[in-house]
Amino acid sequence: MQAITGFRLSPQQERVWALQQSTGTRPFHARCASLIEGPLDKATLEAALLNVIERQEILHTTFHKVEGMIFPLQVISDFRLDAIPVCDLGSISSSERAFETIFEETGHRPFDFERDVPVGPLLLRLSPDRHILILHLPALCADAQTLDIVVAEIVRAYARLVRGDEEPAEEPLQYADLAEWQIGLLESDDSLAGRDYWARQDISTALSLTLPFQRRQHSGGDGSFDAGWFSAGLSQVTTAALKLLAARFNAPVSLILQACWQVLLWRLTRQPEITVGAAFDGRLDEALRQSPGLFSRFLPITARLEEGQPFSQVVANIVEVSRDAAKWQECFSLANNVDFFPICFESRSNPSTHSIDGVTFSIYRTHASTDRFNLKLSCVVSDESVTTDIYYDRGLFSPAVIRRLAEQLHTLIEDACEAPDSRIEALTVVGSNERELLLFGFNGTASSYPSNKCLSQLFEDQVERAPEKIALRANEGQLTYAELNARANRLAGYLAKVGVSPESPSTIVPVSAGSKVLQTRTGML
């Protein structure tokens, strides 16, 4: 048997590995698209990427299973970087749509953890002076912040190569060493206070939170996980108001958005405690700020909500709870437990734009799936804009439901910015589109029909046209037109048997609140 020299996985890596095994697929990854404008030299870009991969061991780490061990070892491997493949979109009329398709397909690319170099680059050519560099890594090696770090390092390496500068002499901290440090911390007495803090947090209700419009059964099976995505930006007016509100509360914009998210969830479920898994970066030490790898994790943040509570108080409470969670984040771990937070929240700042001799690099799109969820609000905050991305499990939610949820969230954010001291039950969640649908769309039921026929005759015509179509659906089941007609005929036969005829005096039959819907509607026919 060949000996393998490697390092143990970090707690975050163990969790991702366990989730990958439980889902039966490998959807956990991190990818980004960096827009490059100007006269790009492809050979220099490839050399810069090679330089970054060589310096950062996590970018050429593979994962090898060892007999008798639950988790694999991470092994620093030799590697060879081929030329970056190029896809020319310049001749395509809708290059934006083509990019979206390619970026989505990239997320489904499988990884061979024992053989592949984690970084999967692809260069899209939009025009001679406009390109998009897509980087795709497994979540075992990267979180969202890693993508920003790697792109920034590529830019610095590109600048050194263009200008002929020397390589930095200082060796970077390596992820495998930091993973060993994290494991040692959790096993030592130094983490007792942090472990005690998390032991006092009851997250049992958080792991079972469901929404009223969520499918009762997963359409793809209990183990599958396929994330969809819907993006919408806040208006400039709302963005400006949001930043003023954050300044008034002396709180980050991200926590104002998280408070709005948790209040909306409360409005939808009326659960007194709303716990979301909130993403924390994990790079607490200044020396770790530029270290790539999987550091982030989702921590339980609970908001206790009730009618009469002002929104401003909700924000203050979430700020306090988040501050405590951040202090002890290194001591929290669901480890290899496959439970997950159904509802999540994350926020990040839009990374800076870098320019080198007429070539500009900027992050165009980022997506990191490092944990499972049912529903996740992901916010991107820049100086001029705020974008809200809602990621959702396609097996539990439809796109139409998510679009309506996004409109409700934006409406609540706007109202909270205008009246931050309002009671949370008074904040508006019904937007103009949904209000139009409720007032007019659902009530627009008028239609023409033969005036010389009564209801029973019209119903019989429909039975002949579509006997197998669903006529009634209620909690206790559903009936086709043929089944409903058969029940109505049996009821009519019974009434005739006991002496009821069309000429009989009308009889009012009281219907109790507990009567079943299918039985009641059958009687109407």
CATH number at residue 471: 3.40.50.980
CATH code of residue 119: 3.30.559.30
Q: 173: how many CB neighbours lie within 10 A of its CB?
A: 17
Indicate whether 454 pLDDT > 90: no
Residues 381 and 505 in one domain: no
Position 493 in a domain: yes
Which is more confidently placed, 169 or 324?
324
pLDDT-based confidence at 508, cuts 50/70/90? very low
pTM of the model: 0.80
* pLDDT-above-90 percentage for the chain: 54
* 331-340, 421-430, 438-447, 508-517, range with greatest mean pLDDT: 421-430
Residue 408 has pLDDT above 60, yes or no: yes
Query: Does one domain contain both 399 and 361?
Result: yes
Q: pLDDT band for position 433 (50/70/90)?
A: low
Residue type, 124: L
- Are 205 and 335 part of one and the same domain? yes
Residue 280 has a pLDDT of 95
Examine the pLDDT at 225 and tell me if it is beyond 60: yes
What CA–CA distances, in Å, run from 174 to 178, 288, 291, 338, 442? Answer: 7, 10, 8, 28, 59
Residue 511 has pLDDT above 90, yes or no: no
- The answer to whether the beta carbons of residues 289 and 340 sit under 8 Å apart is no
Burial of 434: CB neighbours in 10 Å, binned 0-12, 13-18, 19+: middle
- Parent domain of 97: 11-435
Same domain (yes/no): 112, 233: yes
Instruction: State the helix-helix crossing angle for 42-55 and 144-163, rounded to 10 degrees.
Output: 120
In this structure, the answer to whether residues 233 and 327 fall within a common structural domain is yes
Same domain, 52 and 164: yes
Pairing of strands 375-381, 343-349: parallel
For 332, list phi and psi in degrees, rounded to 5: -100, 140
Residues 413 and 469 in one domain: no
- For residue 306, pLDDT over 80 is answered with yes
pLDDT at 462: 84
200-209, 211-220, 356-365, 428-437, range with greatest mean pLDDT: 356-365
Q: Is residue 518 very low, low, confident or very high in pLDDT (cuts 50, 70, 90)?
A: very low
Q: Does residue 440 form part of some domain? A: no
- 491 and 363, same domain (yes or no): no
Pair 324, 376 in one domain: yes
The length of the chain in residues reads 525
pLDDT computed for residue 425 by the predictor: 95
Task: Please check whether residue 260 lies inside any domain of the structure.
Answer: yes
Average the pLDDT over 423-448 and give the result: 67
CA distance 67 to 86: 40
Pairwise CA distance, residues 40 & 154, whole Å: 13
Q: pLDDT grade, residue 336 (50/70/90)?
A: very low
Q: Report the pLDDT averaged over residues 230-257.
A: 95
The pLDDT of residue 520 is above 60: no
**Token match 């060589």: residue?**
54
Query: Quick one: 421 and 470 in the same domain?
Result: no
Count up the domains in the chain and report the number.
2
